[in-house]
Chains A and B, each alone.
Chain A
Amino acid sequence: MSSSLRSLLPDIGRILQALAGMMLLSIVMPLLWGELFAIPGLLISAAITYALGFLSLRYGTRRSVDKLHGMMVAALGWLLVAVLGSLPFLTIAWTAALAPAWAGTFDTPTLAAFRHPLNGVFESMSGFTGTGLTMSVHENVLPRTIQWWRSFTEWVGGVGVIVLTTAILARPGSGSLTLYESEARSDKIHPSIVSTVRTIWWIFLVFTLVATLLLWLVGMPIWDAINHAMTGLSTGGFSITDNSLASYQEPLIEFAMIPIMIAGSIAFPIHYLLLSGDFRSVARDLQTRWVAIYFSAGSIALIGLLLHFNTYGTSFQSLRYGLFQFISAASCTGFQTADIGGQWSVLSQLTLSAGMFVGAAAGSTVGGIKLIRLLTLAKGMIRRISDVFYPESAIRRFEIDGRTLTDTEVSKELEEASIIALLGIVLLSVGITGLLLLVSLDVYTLENVVFEVASAQGNVGLSTGITGPEMPSTAKLLLMFNMWVGRLEFIPVLVLLRALIYGGSP
């Protein structure tokens, strides 16, 4: 094994141990619900994951953490978490089929789909990346333990696997900042990175409890409220009902979910300022202001399109579905209340696709290329055009998010935003082309395919019906790749692939 790969092992080992901890913690669920057949599955999964983590720590060689190392750990760590996070799906699907009657059998065709390992890996990748595309045909008949595991993966994945590991296992000064930044995060709440990630969890817990009780008060059963609060706040979008939130047919629940999804779309440092009462700083924050503008403008546009094409009979229905679906798409949550693929016009579908591609605030739980990059690109473009009208000797300031940037910083910011946006478009195109070759175009249209790939890459989870256990394995692998690169904002995955092909040398 090459030395650069061995140097990744200690950090990978800690991530796997944190994952094993999640599995052990989940044993509470089968005990509470009397699903004894699920206990061996969780124990086996935790044992395998912990053993691999232990071996990684034992045989890895520690070295200083630089950017290359951080990106490779993030990319490989997320991939392994998705693969090993599928073990509970696989093992529980088998133990449910093989368990004696006294252990509470729960075998259904929906659960049986997870006996195919690829379906479990897809579900796990979708969960940890906070996407929400699913291999479950009827989520409501899944065992509670599996329902919980799906929600738990999204809840943890929303904040970040490395954030979890850093919060639990990191020591100050152990290179946590580099790893933290490799997981598509940059802003810190406190000077210490360990303290920052622990505060992120503290904020996340407060909001999850509040969201759970809010959803229960508007009519959800408490188990549903717990799961949907976890998956709504993490902007993941897994549901435990057969037909996502459409199952409830209750506008009040949909309207209550909107502030929860919006909360997930705002950066954690901003939440911290808000909880501390510093509303002035929150109102001044560029990203938060633009999230408000973007969500409002997008919702109004979508409602307008639904009204224009007379998709629904009444204005209230257009308002209800347009508002909910745009927030759900742009926040990259993916809860679905409308028959988008079957009932909506092409223009409405493409408006949602654009919302999914962009995403909301960087530093939150959302996917997409992020609003701040779009703003940087737009400002950079305007600057380049207006530059022509000024004399060459003119000194012009470039301000973004309250920071005045030097020329070098402007170039760096623009370059990063351009690269991310371009990679987003390139990988989206690759996904669309691949899926077009793999699905039947007699059943699905081009806009359906664009929508599905944008949904996977933006970690949204809205579906036009293409995703399911019956889709070709290659298509599953393709969408999993889009979810993986989308969650880590492309570059870490490409760095890992480059290092695997050409080695770690420059």
Chain B
Amino acid sequence: MSSVIATIVSLLTQLVPTDLSSVSFLSWAGDRDPIYDLLILTGPLVIVLISVVGRMWLTTGLAIGYLLVFVGHLLHSIVTS
């Protein structure tokens, strides 16, 4: 399970620009962790999708995935720090 999450995170990270400071808000907020930046960028999209299509397996999966990425990355940061 954790390797699947790691792969998904890795793929998602590759989908966004390496230098996230090109996105204006993130540039405004300064140089931060790219995974959290990614969560800030994708979070509103997930919420909009939930608002539009409602509660279904896809949106539930996305929300669970979102939380797992957050918790997983937090734990990963703590372990590797």
Contact = CB atoms under 8 A, between A and B. Distances in A.
Interface of A: 190, 195, 198-199, 201-202, 205-206, 209-210, 212-214, 216-217, 222-223, 226, 274-280
Interface string B28-63: 111011001001100110110011000100001001
B78 A195 contact: no
Nearest to A198: B29
| Size category, B interface | 20 to 34
A413 to B, nearest CB: 31
Contact of B67 (A205, A210, A274, A276): A210
Nearest to A207: B70
A213 B30 contact: no
18 contacts: A199-B32, A201-B29, A202-B36, A206-B43, A209-B39, A209-B66, A210-B43, A212-B43, A213-B47, A213-B63, A213-B67, A214-B67, A216-B55, A217-B64, A275-B77, A277-B74, A277-B80, A278-B81
Interface of B: 28-30, 32-33, 36, 39-40, 43-44, 46-47, 50-51, 55, 60, 63-64, 66-67, 70, 74, 76-81
Contacts of A279: 78, 81
Contact of A222 (B39, B47, B67): B47
B39 A275 contact: no
A209 B37 CA distance: 12
B interface SS class: helix
B77 A276 contact: yes
Nearest to A223: B51
B28 to A, nearest CB: 6
A226 B33 CA distance: 24
B50 A222 contact: yes
Contacts of A276: 33, 77, 81
B81 A209 contact: no
A217 B51 contact: no
Interface-central residue, A198, A223, A280, by most chain B CB under 10 Å: A198
A226 B47 contact: yes
Contacts of A222: 47, 50-51
A213 B43 contact: yes
Given A216-B50, A222-B50, 16 more contacts: A195-B30, A199-B32, A202-B29, A202-B30, A210-B67, A210-B70, A212-B43, A213-B67, A214-B67, A217-B60, A222-B47, A222-B51, A276-B33, A277-B79, A277-B81, A278-B81
Contacts of A212: 43, 47
Given A201-B29, A217-B64, A279-B78, A206 B50 contact: no
A214 B47 CA distance: 11
B63 to A, nearest CB: 4
Nearest to A196: B30
A276 B35 CA distance: 11
B33 A217 contact: no
A279 B70 CA distance: 16
A216 B56 CA distance: 12
Contacts of A210: 39, 43, 66-67, 70
B64 A206 contact: no
Given A210-B67, A279-B78, A198 B40 contact: no
B66 A202 contact: no
Contacts of A202: 29-30, 32, 36, 40
Contacts of B64: 217
A426 B44 CA distance: 45
Contacts of B77: 275-277
A210 B63 CA distance: 9
A72 B70 CA distance: 40
A199 B70 CA distance: 17
